[in-house]
Every structure is written in structure tokens, then in C-alpha cells.
Amino acid sequence: PEAGGAAAMLAKPLTLSAPGKAILHGEHAVVHGKAALAVALNLRTFLQIRPSNNGKVLICLPNIGTSLNWETARLRTLLTAFSAGLDESKSPSPEQMDALKEFAGITTGLPAPESLAILAFLYLYLSISANYGQIPSVEIVVWSELPTGAGLGSSAAYSVCLAAALLTACGAIGCPLEEEKSVARWPEEELDLINRWAFRGEQVIHGKPSGVDNSVATWGGVLRFQSGKITLLKRVPTPRILLTNTKVSRSTKILVAGVKDKIRKFPAIMNPVLASIDAISHECERVLEAMAESPSQEHYPVLEELFDINQHHLNVIGVGHSSLDSVCRVTATHGLHSKLTGAGGGGCAITLLRPDTDPLMVESARRDLSACGFECLETSIGAPGICLHSLSSLKAEVLHVFNEFKMTWTPTLPCLPAPASSELLNSSPEWPPIVPNTRQSSADVASLKYFAPFSYGCGSVVN
């Protein structure tokens, strides 16, 4: 039977979002029992769930050109087949994954990213339905600002959005957004439930995730992670950063193995480096808490120096790359301080921006980084976790995507395809003019800068 509260919960569309994540300090050292600081990025994944009366469940992922729908009766049959094992306390079993792959028509072998997204959705839909009552006929669209394949927690933001939307749809958690509010968050016990279910979605996508990414997407702010324990910092500032994607692919597994090998060969040399990285994480935590208590420019030189020291350490342990050296060199010519974030060996770097940094200097740095072939975004850290939005609180480009698919969605129409990768890299950073609640052409949507809703990686805290 359908959940009693579901119809009431979905009397109108609900819109929510969750942030991506970056590692501020502690990459690789965290694998060896040291502390790492993970921060929520103010680059977000947005989801809208809408009630439907067509007896179908539809999910649309415009970033990757994927749109699928199933009749609720078919999903109910699948639910009956193995609902006994669908529990938040249990990891997805190989048998369940095989059943979902067969149901979704996914062939054997390593699933493509879009297949993993669909499997995570089906698992969460069925699991939450099994525990709280069948979710009614709904339409879901998910769109993300997060760069793909860069270790920025985009799969976790996707899983957290799905878990929150589905739990709200079936009445398992409340809908805290009141008429006069533009943004609202769930109470702590409901956020904890969202986080637990999102972790199951991450297991579908990554196999053995650390749990850090979904925790950041749920709680936001800054988290300390050490020896499997996750601690939320109570008060955090929200400094601005440049996030630079070198677009150099790398293998987290190979990089982690390389660090381990260096430690085995040179323990007396490498262990002090790891201890120093650990001390940097703790010192940075102290500074961030002091900034939250008493905002002052005097904290920024300390943060900048910690960036510089840690970047040198990361080069010492063997996870640097010439592209990351270029980011550090280019930003240094503008008086800015940078370090890699995540696994290293390419991927992304973060650059700290002081509140009084000249905007012209930032723009000049961005131009120079773009000239190197990198993609550069200005954002902030310490962003809020999963939250509900009123439509009036959404940015124009997010409204545009949701409005476009509201007008074009039918079960027989595919979603607009995402541009090819070359189009993504060379597309104009300017958004087309947007008038909310009016139809725009498919060409306008295709001109948007598309990012995949999740990145395909190992899900480790170091990536």
C-alpha cells in the first residue's frame, strides 16, 4: 500500500539541494590514521520531486541525457520479490544488485556512470518503500553544478538528495519548509536518517565508501575524519576559494598504493611527514573555529601558510603533478596560495581568497588558469548541507532547468542530451537570458554548462 502521508507531502513539487565536498587538509594521511578536514562546497546538486497521476515513477538526469520511467505496479512486484533484505542497517547485497540490474536492463560487467545512478535510485526507492510504505507516482529531475570525475562528492550529493526526497515523499520525515521561508533544514534526527540511507546509495555506486562524502552533503560545514570517526565542527566560517579542475585524470588506488610503498621503504622519513600533515589539520581546525568566533583578516595569513606547507608535504609523499604545480605557480604570481585537494596526481586544486582580495586580481588569475587549459570556479566552503528551497530562492539557471523539463516531460520523450565533452570544456561561461516560468528552446538548454550529477570513482576520502 502507498504511504498514508505521501499524498499530502506531495501536494506540490518539492525542491532540495545538497553540496559537494573538498578535502581541506589531511589527504592520504587520513588513510594512515591521521586527521582530515572535509568541507562542504557551495556548488550544489539540485533535485525536484513532483506528484504525478499517471501511475509511473520517472527519473530524469539532464546532465547525462538519461530519462527512465517504470510503472508503480512493476516496482511493487520487484519490491515484493526481495523486500525482506532492504534495510538501512544492511549493505546492498550482490543478489539485490543483480536483481536490480536485470530489472533495469543493465548488462553484466562494470556499469557505466548513468547505470550506477539508476541502480542507486532503484535501490533507495525500493528500500525506503519497503520500510515506510510505497512511494506514490512521482517525477524526479536532478541537475548538478559539480564538475564530473574530480573527487568533489557529486555522487554523495546525488544520493543525499534522493534519500531526502524519497523519505519526504513517503512521509518518513517531515517537510520543514513553511510558506514564508525561502530555505529550511530538517531536524537533527531526520538528517541522521537521511544520511544513513544516503550511505546505502553511495555503497551501490562505490562499493566501500568512507561515509565522509555523504556526511558532508547531509550536514554541511566542516567535518573532521579520523580512524573512521566523523566529527562535525560546531561553528565554521565560509571563506571564498577558487576551485581549479586541471582535468588530468588519475587513479586514486594507484596514488594511495604509492604513498603506502614510500612509507614502507622510508618509515623514518615518511612518518614524520604524515605527523606534520596531521598537525596541519588540527591547527587549521583551531584557526577555523577562531575565525567563526571572531572574524578577522589576521587569520588568513595562517591559513595561507598552512596551504603552502601542506602542498609541499603532498609533493614529498608523491601525489603531486605538474598540472598542480602550474596552478600553484600561476596563482602565486597573483599573490594567492593554493594546494591540491583530494587524491592529487591531477584532479583539483583549491586557492584561498581573502575577503579583501581585489576582484580584478581574481579575474586575472582565472584567465591565466583558463589559458593553461584548466576550468576554474569561484565558490565558498562551509556551505549548508541538504536543505529544502522555495522556488523564489533558486538561482535562475536552476529554475530554467526545472521549468524546461516541467514543460517537456512525457514518458515517451527522452531528456535533452548533454553536450559532448568538447562542448562542455569550450562552452561559454555566460548563461542565456532566463525568464522564469516561460518556455525556452532546446538550444538554450543545450548551451548551459553541463556537469554530471555524480563522478565515477572509488569514493575514498582521499579522492
Task: Give the three-state DSSP class for 26.
Answer: coil
Exposure b/e, 62-81, CB count within 10 A at least 16 = b: bbbebbbbbebeebbebbee
- Cell numbers standing for residue 235: 561553528
40: exposed, middle or buried (C-beta count within 10 Å: 0-12, 13-18, 19+)? buried
Q: CA-to-CA distance for 179 and 65, rounded, in angstroms?
A: 33
Helices then strands (H, E): number in the chain?
Answer: 15, 13
DSSP 344: -
User: 421 catalytic, yes or no?
Assistant: no
Cα angle vertex 8, ends 7, 13, to 5°? 85
Amino acid at 324: L
Dihedral sign for Cα 19, 23, 28, 29, please.
negative
Catalytic residue among 52, 127, 159, 213: 213
CA pseudo-torsion sign 272, 278, 282, 287: positive
Residue 155 annotated to the active site: yes
Cα separation, 236 vs 295, whole angstroms: 10
* Residue in 127, 129, 154, 155 annotated catalytic: 155
Distances (CA, A) of 420 to 47, 248, 272, 425, 450: 23, 18, 46, 9, 10
List, in sequence order, every beta strand (DSSP E) within 90-145. 138-144
Q: Could you list the active site residues?
A: 155, 213
